[in-house]
């Protein structure tokens, strides 16, 4: 199958070429030609009907940090400022509001397909073609990542793209040798690194150095968050080795009241990419995270232009993953992963940063139209499901995972809203659900758990304090709201942001202007 998509083409190639009235010629899943208006149409495309997108065409947006299985949840009301991830993971209200609901619904084989359908739709509605952090597991088998509509960082399902390794727990000093061995084998290792602002959080970064003074750091390492790193002395360790940083500013601000020194990271030679983290304490999608990153850069004078931010969700993450031979820019021979924003006027880089969910005109993954405005999708993907984003009518085409029952987005939405409303009853029945589950049935793999191993200093944190937290009686289970798919469809979203106690006032004031 061949396609021609026309519009303003933002290539993100080495020269950062922008082609007004350009054309992208696609054969199957590859880009065969990128044409200027004056370029003749190749003979084998002369009978192909071109699709005028009426928009600006970008490489598909790549998100390097998310915990997708949790993205059915609304923003958690963070009760205080934390210094490290270990602290909020032990908070009883976190367990009740964030950890418990998806873990309970994820045990129900009837709700598992609904969760996966819903969270991949959230990505598509934000223009994302690749994200990170959703997996399936079952008793007696190795982990298998979900094969849905979007591309998954860990299992990209394309020849020439090697999946990234991921790790939520920081590295413990005692596991330095094992981690170093894994890092040497990986093309990309996405590691939660020094998340927080305290000395205890920074200690996890120092655990990358062994007692011989050797650092387990290489160009394969992509440190997620890195908020506890302090100044050039720390970031130079990463930069000199070619390592990278994945920035999630809203999540950092909501939990810790501060964010990563990404200006220092970049000056030290680190590549900087973006991730929305997850909906309980982050942006609803990567498109929204672009806006927060812009605001933080402006308020803190971090020096990230709109071109830099577009690069941070296209060519830079492709380079971090070692995928840039096939993704990250619109060039001949690369995979046809594309994000199209409605309209062609104005600065093309500012256009993506300023775009709202209703402005996403088309999302193409592996050459296949997956999501977009109905005016385009009716022709490109007839039979796709109709959805509404604010006042706009869109359509979404979902793949069938061979291991899961197929559900429409409408069915998934209804099932999840009902499940979260009945959460107290499901929690009571959870032991029976798990006991009744077939030995080989799939379950969601939840990567952000409160009982992950950490390299903590018992003298600093206190064994008694940890024991008391673990033994504390859980708060009563209550119904939980399903997080709306888009900001456009979430009338409470900015109220929740406004109520957040840790976001600095100057940054919060600028976010409020996005309404």
Half-sphere exposure of 15 toward its Cβ, with a 13 Å CA cutoff?
Answer: 4
User: Residue 470 pLDDT more than 50?
Assistant: no
User: Residue 229 pLDDT more than 70?
Assistant: yes
User: Residue 169 pLDDT more than 70?
Assistant: yes
Q: Locate tokens 């979902």: which residue?
A: 398
Report pLDDT digits (tens) over 408-421: 999 999 999 999 99
User: Residue 50 pLDDT more than 70?
Assistant: yes
Query: Which domains are delineated in the chain?
Result: 2-60+329-396 (2.30.40.10), 62-325+481-512 (3.20.20.140)
User: Residue 342 pLDDT more than 80?
Assistant: yes
| pLDDT for res 449 | 60
User: Residue 462 pLDDT more than 70?
Assistant: no
Distances (CA, A) of 238 to 54, 84, 126, 215: 42, 21, 30, 9
Cβ atoms of 273 and 226 closer than 8 Å: no
Quote the percentage of the chain above a pLDDT of 90.
Answer: 79
User: Residue 304 pLDDT more than 50?
Assistant: yes
| pLDDT for res 400 | 87
Dist. CA 262–CA 156, nearest whole Å: 27
Q: Measure the CA dihedral 284/251/103/417, to 10°.
A: -30
Among the ranges given (1-10, 67-76, 302-311, 394-403), the one the predictor scored with the smallest mean pLDDT: 394-403
Between 456 and 24, residue with greater pLDDT: 24
| pLDDT for res 148 | 81
Instruction: Calculate the average pLDDT of the chain.
Output: 91
Secondary structure of 311-356 as H, E, C letters: HHCCHHHHHHHCCCCCCCCCCCCCECCEEEEECCCCCHHHHHHHCC
The mean per-residue pLDDT over the stretch 275-281 comes to 96
Report pLDDT digits (tens) over 131-140: 998 888 876 6
Report pLDDT digits (tens) over 268-277: 999 999 999 9
Global pTM reads 0.94
pLDDT band at 469 (very low <50, low <70, confident <90, very high): very low
The mean per-residue pLDDT over the stretch 205-212 comes to 95
Quote the percentage of the chain above a pLDDT of 70.
Answer: 92
Report pLDDT digits (tens) over 39-49: 999 999 999 99
User: Residue 472 pLDDT more than 60?
Assistant: no
Residue 480 gets the label, from left (phi > 0), alpha (psi -120 to 50) or beta, of beta
Indicate the SS3 state at residue 293: helix
Report pLDDT digits (tens) over 110-151: 899 999 999 999 999 999 999 998 888 876 666 788 888 899
């Amino acid at each position: 199958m061949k396609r021609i998509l026309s519009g303003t083409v933002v290539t993100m190639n080495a020269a950062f070429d922008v082609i007004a009235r350009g054309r992208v010629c696609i054969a199957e899943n590859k880009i065969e030609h990128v044409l200027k208006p004056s370029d003749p149409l190749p003979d084998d495309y002369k009978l192909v009907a071109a699709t005028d997108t009426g928009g600006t065409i970008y490489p598909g947006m790549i998100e390097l940090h998310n915990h997708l299985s949790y993205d059915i949840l609304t923003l958690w009301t963070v009760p205080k400022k934390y210094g490290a991830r270990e602290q909020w993971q032990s908070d009883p209200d976190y367990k009740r509001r964030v950890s418990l609901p998806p873990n309970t619904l994820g045990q129900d084989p009837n709700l598992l397909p609904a969760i996966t359908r819903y969270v991949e739709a959230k990505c598509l509605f934000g223009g994302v073609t690749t994200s990170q952090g959703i997996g399936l597991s079952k008793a007696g088998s190795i982990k298998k990542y979900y094969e849905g509509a979007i591309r998954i960082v860990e299992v990209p399902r394309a020849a020439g793209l090697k999946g990234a390794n991921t790790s939520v727990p920081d590295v413990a000093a005692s596991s330095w040798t094992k981690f170093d061995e894994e890092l040497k084998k990986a093309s990309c290792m996405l590691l939660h690194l020094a998340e927080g602002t305290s000395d205890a959080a920074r200690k996890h970064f120092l655990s990358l150095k062994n007692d011989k003074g050797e650092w387990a750091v290489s160009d394969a390492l992509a440190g997620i968050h890195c908020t506890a790193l302090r100044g050039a002395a720390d970031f130079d360790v990463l930069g000199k080795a070619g390592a990278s940083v994945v920035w999630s500013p809203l999540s950092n601000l909501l939990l810790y009241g501060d964010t990563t020194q990404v200006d220092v990271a970049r000056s030290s030679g680190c590549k900087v990419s973006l991730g929305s983290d997850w909906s309980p304490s982050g942006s609803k999608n990567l498109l929204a995270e672009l806006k927060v990153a812009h605001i933080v850069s402006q308020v803190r004078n971090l020096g990230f232009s709109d071109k830099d931010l577009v690069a941070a969700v296209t060519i830079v993450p492709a380079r971090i993953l070692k995928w840039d031979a096939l993704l990250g820019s619109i060039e001949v021979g690369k995979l046809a992963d594309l994000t199209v924003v409605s309209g062609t006027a104005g600065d093309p880089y500012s256009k993506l940063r300023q775009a709202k969910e209703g402005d996403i005109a088309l999302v193409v993954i592996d050459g296949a139209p997956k999501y977009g405005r109905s005016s385009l999708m009716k022709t490109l993907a007839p039979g796709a499901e109709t959805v509404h984003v604010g006042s706009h009518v869109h359509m979404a085409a979902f793949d069938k995972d061979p291991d899961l029952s197929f559900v429409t987005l409408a069915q998934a939405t209804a099932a999840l809203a009902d499940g979260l409303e009945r959460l107290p009853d499901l929690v009571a029945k959870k032991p029976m659900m798990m006991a009744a589950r077939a030995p080989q049935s799939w379950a969601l793999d939840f990567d952000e758990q409160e009982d992950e191993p950490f390299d903590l200093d018992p003298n600093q944190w206190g064994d008694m304090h940890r024991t008391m937290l673990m033994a504390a009686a859980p708060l009563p289970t209550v119904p939980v709201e399903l997080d709306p798919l888009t900001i456009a469809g979430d009338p409470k979203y900015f109220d929740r942001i406004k109520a957040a106690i840790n976001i600095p006032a100057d940054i919060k004031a600028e976010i409020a202007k996005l309404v």
